[in-house]
Amino acid sequence: MSAPSGAAARRAIAPVICYPVETLPAPDMPMLDAARATLIKTGEVIVPPRDAATFTVPAGHFFRITSVEGSQVGDLNLWNAIDLSERFYSGKTRALHGTHITRGQRMWSSFPALRPMATLTYDSLEWYGKDEFGGSVHDVIGTRCDPYTHNLLSGGQYHYCCHSNLTRALAEHLNIPRIEAETHIHDVLNVFMCTGFTRDTGQYFMKASPVRVGDTLEFFAEIDLLGALSACPGGDCSTVHSSDHAKCHPLLVEIFKPAPDTLAKWTPPQPNGYSRQHGD
């Protein structure tokens, strides 16, 4: 189909940012930095390779995800620990902050709460920025690897995709059937994963993660959190996922408590103020 006359002019229209973030409630990073200086570790969980584990973080505490034995990507789900219907909203986080998130940005929750669940307070890979392919780290574009897409594209039954790992871990934590736990699994924050969209076809791509042993992503829990983290079967995601071919490593999750006086000015975020009437 040939382009209409004036096509160039239509294409030349400058874009407008959908959601300017100037009015978005911003975290008090100096306060959080002061709190970070007082952290005392209260617990840890090791996430085995090609598996997932759950953890809880009280509001006002911090948690860290660290690569401990080799380059490894993690798929993170977060819920309000006392109401699992409030959970991480990857799509809205992407609309607000862009395709990848780092220090100073937040993981937002689903409607109707739509509030910050966690604020990123430290990212040892912040230096990576955007590479020449348009790739960056910690994406909110890649949903999670799952056995359904794998079956669609390749056939077969693979049971250790992040979707299934998260399902098993949540089922065990809540002591409910896997089929019920599966309904709570949602699109993830791809921790340490290096991804982007190809410029020519706009396709989702991954490449070897720059994460190395000791790299850490740290979060401040704005509300009481239940988390589940899967150590992706893609390993560093340099080649394939949804199979046992890639070399995989564990991930470490640690929980920290700050000195309470450092958070004296902090107010936990309230659920969104919209009336939910959807009309007059």
**Site membership for Zn ion, residue 162 (CB under 5 A):** yes
x/- string (CB under 5 A) for Zn ion, residues 201-240? Answer: -------------------------------x--------
User: Position 233: which residue type?
Assistant: P
Amino acid at the residue 83: D
Q: What is the DSSP letter of 126?
A: G
Q: How far is the CB of 231 from Zn ion (least distance, A)?
A: 9
Full 3-state SS string of 147-189 = HHHHHHHHCCCCCCCHHHHHHHHHHHHHCCCHHHHHHHCCCCE
Region near Zn ion per CB under 5 A, out of 61-69, 83-91, 162-170, 176-184:
162-170
How far, in Å, CA of 82 to CA of 258, rounded?
A: 22
Contact flags string 122-151 toward Zn ion, x per CB under 5 A = -----------------------x------
Q: Which residue's CB is nearer to Zn ion, number 61 or number 144?
A: 144
CB of 254 to Zn ion, least distance (A): 21
CB of 161 to Zn ion, least distance (A): 6
The yes or no reply on residue 248 touching Zn ion (CB under 5 A) is no
- Provide the b/e sequence for 127-150 (b: ≥16 CB within 10 Å): ebeeeeeebbbbbbbbbbbbbeeb
Per CB under 5 A, which of residues 73..102 are in contact with Zn ion? 75
Measured in degrees and rounded to the nearest 5, phi and psi for residue 31 equal -65, -45
Residue with smaller CB distance to Zn ion, 75 or 187: 75
Examine residue 253 and tell whether it contacts Zn ion (CB under 5 A): no
Total chain residues near Zn ion (CB under 5 A): 4
Residue 50 Cα distances to 39, 232, 249, angstroms: 30, 6, 8
Site for Zn ion contains 52 (CB under 5 A): no
Half-sphere exposure in the Cβ direction for 241 (13 Å, CA): 31
Is residue 194 involved in binding Zn ion (CB under 5 A)? no
What six digits make up the tokens of 30?
A: 């100096």
Contact call for residue 166 and Zn ion (CB under 5 A)? no
Rounded to a whole number of angstroms, the minimum distance from the CB of residue 243 to Zn ion is: 11
Which residues form the interface with Zn ion (CB under 5 A)? 75, 145, 162, 232
